Amino acid sequence: MDTSNSSPVLPISDLLASMVSDVQAGLGHARQKTLPSTYLWDDIGSALFDTITLLPEYGLSRAGERLLKAHGEEIVSRMSAPLAVAELGSGTAHNTRWLLSALCRRQPTTYYAIEVSRWALQRCRAELATIAGLTVSEIPRFYLEGLEDAVGRLPRSHRLLVLFLGSTIGNFERPAADVFLGDLRALLRPGDALLLGTDLQQSEEALLPAYDDARGVTAAFNLNMLARLNRDLDGDFDLRQFCHRAVYEPRHRRVELYLESQRLQRVRLRKADLDVELGAGEAILTEYSHKFDAYEVTTMARRARYRSVAQWRDALWPFAHTLLVPD
């Protein structure tokens, strides 16, 4: 495996300015305070999430891996050669290696790992090191900026398979998911495709333990966002005064994650020039995880001007991979 890392990450000043703007807007709400789930994903958050995927309660990741292991050959056979792969939020690429291995048995392949966590990119290199014929190109950027970078590097003769796995699309509110898929489609060319992972609807009793595990790993993952704000924005959140809470909201078919204040408190974020007052029991919303019906994926794709050409569903956990092409 060859590796390259020629794409610079956004300047620290730009990242900090974006964080300041997001935090000021989210924590300034009088009714419901929010923090973007983007800030869950620093190096510590990525390592904690990697642990979450191994927990018995969290069947989603194993379902995605089973599908790629069983159907990787079929997925890549539906694409024209020569083919490159770009993954939005690659993480450690633990599951993706099955598809990349199948593709590299057919042709030498370039894989663009688009991921903001340096820790995850390091693990990604190690995970894929034994795949013969694979060149890994790291792009430490956010989703669409990273994809634009990858498309700019791609030879005109190559087609591109974009991976958006793990049901990350469920972290968007539904109208925002349509906008995101449309923006992504605008970067694709004829012959390109998107493999979209979606967690499917199941009972509240089955879902909630995946987001509030008995070992407290998900709680640590959620609370780590406050530790990141303390570090990056010179804050003084006392993590001992917050608890993790997961709630299923049936009307929107989603799990919602909160950080709940255990007492009346005031928090200072100096680099954001922000004071935040939180009442006892007041909660900060940190993440949505929407669940889908299988048919809904097709209609969502159609709204963003894709056509569904194939879908694979796991037999043990309600999860699907759907192959979409620009319409």
Confidence at residue 143, expressed as pLDDT on a 0 to 100 scale: 96
Query: In the structure encoding, which two tokens stand for residue 302, read together?
Result: 């159609």
Confidence at residue 3, expressed as pLDDT on a 0 to 100 scale: 42
Confidence at residue 8, expressed as pLDDT on a 0 to 100 scale: 42
227-232 own/partner pairs: CB under 8 Å, 24+ apart = 227/44, 228/39, 228/42, 228/44, 228/45, 229/23, 229/35, 229/39, 229/269, 232/16, 232/19, 232/271
With the C-alpha atoms ordered 181, 12, 139, 289, is the resulting torsion angle positive or negative? negative
Buried/exposed 95-121: b ≥16 CB within 10 Å, e otherwise = bbbbbbbbbbeeeebbbbbbbbbebbb
pTM score, whole prediction: 0.93
230-233 own/partner pairs: CB under 8 Å, 24+ apart = 232/16, 232/19, 232/271, 233/19, 233/20, 233/23, 233/269, 233/270, 233/271, 233/272
Structural domain boundaries of the chain? Answer: 12-39+204-290, 55-201+293-326
Cis check for the bond before 82: say yes or no (omega within 30 of 0): yes
Per-residue pLDDT 10s for the chain (327 aa) are 444 444 444 455 677 898 999 999 999 877 899 999 999 999 999 999 999 999 999 999 999 999 999 999 999 999 999 999 999 999 999 999 999 999 999 999 999 999 989 999 999 999 999 999 999 999 999 999 999 999 999 999 999 999 999 999 999 999 999 999 999 999 999 999 999 999 999 999 999 999 999 999 999 999 999 999 999 999 999 999 999 999 999 999 999 999 999 999 999 999 999 999 999 999 999 999 999 998 899 999 999 999 999 999 999 999 999 999 999
Confidence at residue 9, expressed as pLDDT on a 0 to 100 scale: 44
How many angstroms separate the CA atoms of 22 and 201, rounded?
A: 30
| Residue 226 near residue 220, CB atoms below 8 Å | no
The closest of 195, 140, 201, 219 to 311, measured between CA atoms, is 195
CATH class of 55-201+293-326: alpha beta
Confidence at residue 13, expressed as pLDDT on a 0 to 100 scale: 65
In which residue are the tokens 């790992």 written? 113
Phi, psi of 119 (to 5 degrees): -60, -45
Confidence at residue 1, expressed as pLDDT on a 0 to 100 scale: 45
The closest of 326, 322, 294 to 67, measured between CA atoms, is 322
With the C-alpha atoms ordered 205, 210, 213, 219, is the resulting torsion angle positive or negative? negative
Confidence at residue 2, expressed as pLDDT on a 0 to 100 scale: 45
| Residue 119 near residue 46, CB atoms below 8 Å | yes
